[in-house]
Amino acid sequence: MRLRASLLALAVLPTLSGCVAAALIPVAAGGAIAGRETGLLDVGSSTRSAPDTARPRTADKVGLDETVPETRIPAVAPGGAGASDARPAMAQPVGGRADYAVLDTYLAAQTRTGPGEERLSATLADPGSMGTERADCAARPPAVLVDLDPAGEPLRMDRPLGGDGALADVLAHARDRGADIAWISRLGAGFAGELRMALEESGLDPAGTDTLLLMRRPGDSKQARREELAASHCTVAILGDTRSDFDQLFDYLKDPNAAHALDPLLGRGWFLVPPPLQPQKD
């Protein structure tokens, strides 16, 4: 496994500038990124409950307008077939619920752009440069990408899950303004039916119409799913509980302080939030 991770890092390094390449090493060799994430948002006390029962489904939409059979593709986990998407465990962000207003205000501004106005993508134009430059993607429909996985592991579907009501309200506003919502996870496509049900019954996607970006084959990666979405939509915001949810570049930083160069994007396209679906408390 270490050899695989090292080869991956060597493949990535030639595409990066010299100063950035020197700051990168494979996660397997370098260990977890140290330090605590500084968060912007918190779940607070607005968790919505989902019933314990599950409705069976035979197929569901995943990816971008793609329907796949209910075949269980194992969740891509660090060190397995999807080692390229491994990420170290990091602390969950903390903060006040009122900060959801920051996200709501930002999405309102990004979804009401008119002809000739700029709309910036939340994806980096040149990740290797460690610069904050982003592309104008006003010609494509806006989308909000939400990462479902807790730091370091795929979302567990073997227990009742509840959703954050405050986040559900913000996403409802975004849909009303014409934005598409996409949910991403390292879960395999075979979990689409269960995940769809959890999102519906938690209130995060009550109509069951959002896009699911799941792993379709062994060796698949979340970075590939993010890039697919960016090719068809203007991803105006990415929500996740670690910086690795924004770009896989963060998985290979030798010096955690190098990530601070991209901090200006926090609250302006990148939003640190707790996992949207969390186990219900007894």
Query: Tokens representing 172?
Result: 């409802």
Give residue 282's pLDDT band: very low, low, confident or very high (50, 70, 90): low
167 pLDDT higher than 50: yes
**pLDDT, mean of residues 131-157:** 90
Distance CA(44)–CA(61), nearest Å, equals 31
Q: How many residues does the chain have?
A: 282
pLDDT score of 118: 81
- Which residue, among 95, 142, 52, 27, has the nearest Cα to 274 in the 3D structure? 95
pTM higher than 0.75 for the full model? no
Give residue 253's pLDDT band: very low, low, confident or very high (50, 70, 90): confident
- Which residue, among 246, 128, 116, 108, has the nearest Cα to 179 in the 3D structure? 108
Distance CA(61)–CA(78), nearest Å, equals 25
280 pLDDT higher than 80: yes
Distance CA(54)–CA(52), nearest Å, equals 7
Give the mean pLDDT of the chain: 72
182 pLDDT higher than 90: yes
**pLDDT, mean of residues 114-141:** 80
Classified as helix, coil or strand, 66 is strand
pLDDT score of 39: 36
| Bridge partners (DSSP) listed for residue 66 | 62
Lowest mean pLDDT among 22-26, 204-208, 238-242: 22-26
Q: Which stretches of 57-144 are DSSP H helices?
A: 100-111
Side chain identity, residue 64: L
All domains in the chain, ordered by first residue: 2-279 (3.40.50)
